[in-house]
Amino acid sequence: MNATNLALGQRVPSMSLTCADSLPRTIAAPGTSQLVTFATVSDCAACEAHMSGLETLAKAGALPVETMVVFWAPRADVARALRLMRSSIARPLCRDEHDSLWIRLDITHTPVTALIRDGRIALLDDGPLFSPVEQRLFADRVRRLSVDR
């Protein structure tokens, strides 16, 4: 795990996001569980192992919670970022429009996926999800951690 500034149990601020599909979404809404991948358009090619595995799971309906990608891009680069990311991401694609999450959470490494449960990080993962076994194990962890306790 390279997302050194994110931590299990860390509070994530609830906020509305601007999403490419024009549907309103709120990250870290009270009482919800969400699987959120934080990404930038410049993520390394090796990181595709993580992103493509999540796309496979989402398309198969194997993730038991709402899932989305929250991306950051410089204001002048947003249109290009959307074009590039839409070509490989089927999950809802939302923008951290005012850089609020990147600043408040001090995100320094992407992509990284967080299960946010009732406003707190319950799972962090940035590992490869190439194989069906890795994907199944990840989906099982999400399922186990997203249920009410």
* pLDDT tens digits along 44-72: 655 677 888 898 999 899 999 999 999 88
pTM, two decimal places: 0.89
CA gap 69, 86 in Å, rounded: 11
* pLDDT tens digits along 1-45: 444 588 999 999 999 988 988 898 999 998 999 999 998 877 665
Q: Average pLDDT over the chain, rounded to whole?
A: 86
Q: Which of 22, 1, 13 is nearest to 99 (CA)?
A: 13
CA gap 88, 84 in Å, rounded: 7
Most confident of 4-13, 75-84, 130-139: 130-139
Phi and psi at residue 101, to the nearest 5°: -70, -45
E strand segments, 54-136? 66-72, 93-95, 112-117, 120-125
Pairing of strands 120-125, 112-117: antiparallel
